[in-house]
Structure 1
Amino acid sequence: MAFKPFLVYILAAIAEIAGCYSLWAVLKLGKSPLWLIPGALSLCAFAWLLTLIDSPAAGRAYAAYGAIYIAGAVGWMWLMEKQRPDLWDLAGLALCLAGSAVILLAPRHS
């Protein structure tokens, strides 16, 4: 099922961004160091989720994930930080998503 990898990647992006944001919040926004506990758990969930991708090469799974992460980061910027993406953000995102689709959906011989 081609949809499953995208769902896993979306969940992984949410987990990675949330985990990284916890450190940002502590160091840049003065939040309590206790924010690092759910952040660390979130990063562990991110790493576990990527192991669910059916790929013989970890590098390929990570490369395809990269664009989904970028989409998540742009979405986070817009929804959580109230910074609307500009044309260049969206153009770059479109290029990344196209590249990810090529990596993820290319017919390969085992």
Structure 2
Amino acid sequence: MTVLRSLALFLCAALFEIGGAWLVWQGLREHRGWLWAGAGAIALGCYGVVATWQNDENFGRVLAAYGGIFVAGSIVWGMVADGYRPDRFDLLGALICLVGMGVIMYAPRGH
């Protein structure tokens, strides 16, 4: 699997997971109703499916690497959907997570 395909899958998974969690939040915390929350639950299920499409057979590695995408994606989602303004420490933390994601997922291994 190419790195670009893998990254595309991580981005797709992020849209489903972060979007799904946001929909549940909107449905329950912002009182938009169970339709929003139900759509979020479906999106979260789709996230789980997309995660299985990564070529690496190690669940722990794929989910740990995805964590970096989730952190950075959540900050971006908050900026776009909710007007969140990250500070320099939010951005630094997200960058550190993305570097960790790259090491976990794409470091050369001798097997």
TM bucket normalised to smaller:
over 0.9
Mapped to 2, the partners of 1:27 and 1:67 lie a distance apart of 26
Mapped to 2, the partners of 1:29 and 1:37 lie a distance apart of 14
CA offset at residue 36 of structure 1?
A: 2.1
Mapped to 1, the partners of 2:37 and 2:25 lie a distance apart of 10
Mapped to 2, the partners of 1:60 and 1:67 lie a distance apart of 12
Instruction: Give SS of 1:80's match.
Output: helix
Instruction: Give SS of 2:82's match.
Output: coil
CA offset at residue 37 of structure 1?
A: 2.3
Mapped to 2, the partners of 1:40 and 1:71 lie a distance apart of 22
Instruction: Give SS of 1:83's match.
Output: coil
Aligned-pair identity (%)? 34
Mapped to 1, the partners of 2:29 and 2:39 lie a distance apart of 17
| TM-score in terms of structure 1 length | 0.94
In the other structure, the counterpart of 1:20 is: 21
Unpaired runs of 5+ residues, structure 1, are none
Q: Which amino acid aligns with 1:5?
A: S
Could you say what the CA RMSD is over the residues aligned between the two structures, in angstroms?
Answer: 1.0
Instruction: Give SS of 2:85's match.
Output: coil
In the other structure, the counterpart of 1:75 is: 76
Mapped to 2, the partners of 1:38 and 1:27 lie a distance apart of 12
CA offset at residue 43 of structure 1?
A: 0.8
CA deviation string 1:56-100 (max 9, x = no partner) = 210000001001011110001111111121101100011001100
